[in-house]
Amino acid sequence: MRGRLIFTGQLAFTLLVAAFLAVPAMLSMSAGVTVNYFRGLQSGVTLNWVYQVFDLYSEAIARSLLIASATLVVTLAVGVPAAYALSVRGGRLSRLVEEVITLPLALPGLAIALALLLTYGGFGSFRRSWLVILAGHVVFTLPFMVRSVMAVFATTDIATLDEGAASLGASPWRRFRDVIVPNARPGILAGSMMVFTLSLGEFNLTWMLHTPLTKTLPVGLADAYASMRLEIASAYTLIFFVMIIPLLLLMQLIADPEQRR
| Interface with other proteins in residues 179-238 (CB under 8 A) | 197-198, 201-204, 207-208, 218, 221-222, 225-226, 230, 233-234, 237
Where in 122-141 is the site for other proteins (CB under 8 A)?
135-136, 138-139
Q: What residues numbered 77-96 form the site for other proteins, per CB under 8 A?
A: 77-79, 81-82, 84-86, 88-89
Which x/- pattern over 42-71 shows residues binding other proteins (rule: CB under 8 A)?
A: ------------------------------
What's the closest the beta carbon of residue 46 comes to other proteins, in angstroms? 18
In the set 45, 115, 213, 253, which binds other proteins (CB under 8 A)? 115
Instruction: Name the minimum Å distance from CB 9 to other proteins.
Output: 9
Per CB under 8 A, does 20 bind other proteins? yes
Question: Is 111 a residue that touches other proteins (CB under 8 A)?
Answer: yes
The distance of closest approach from Cβ of residue 67 to other proteins in the complex, given in angstroms and rounded to an integer, is 14
Query: Is position 104 an interface residue for other proteins (rule: CB under 8 A)?
Result: yes
Q: Which DSSP string do the residues of the chain spell out, in sequence order?
A: -HHHHHHHHHHHHHHHHHHHHHHHHHHHHHHTTBS-TTT-GGG-B-SHHHHHHHHHHHHHHHHHHHHHHHHHHHHHHHHHHHHHHHHHH-HHHHHHHHHHHHHHHHS-HHHHHHHHHHHHTT-HHHHHSTHHHHHHHHHHHHHHHHHHHHHHHHHHTHHHHHHHHHHTT--HHHHIIIIIHHHTHHHHHHHHHHHHHHHHH--HHHHHH--TTS--HHHHHHHHHHHS-HHHHHHHHHHHHHHHHHHHHHHHHHS-GGGG-
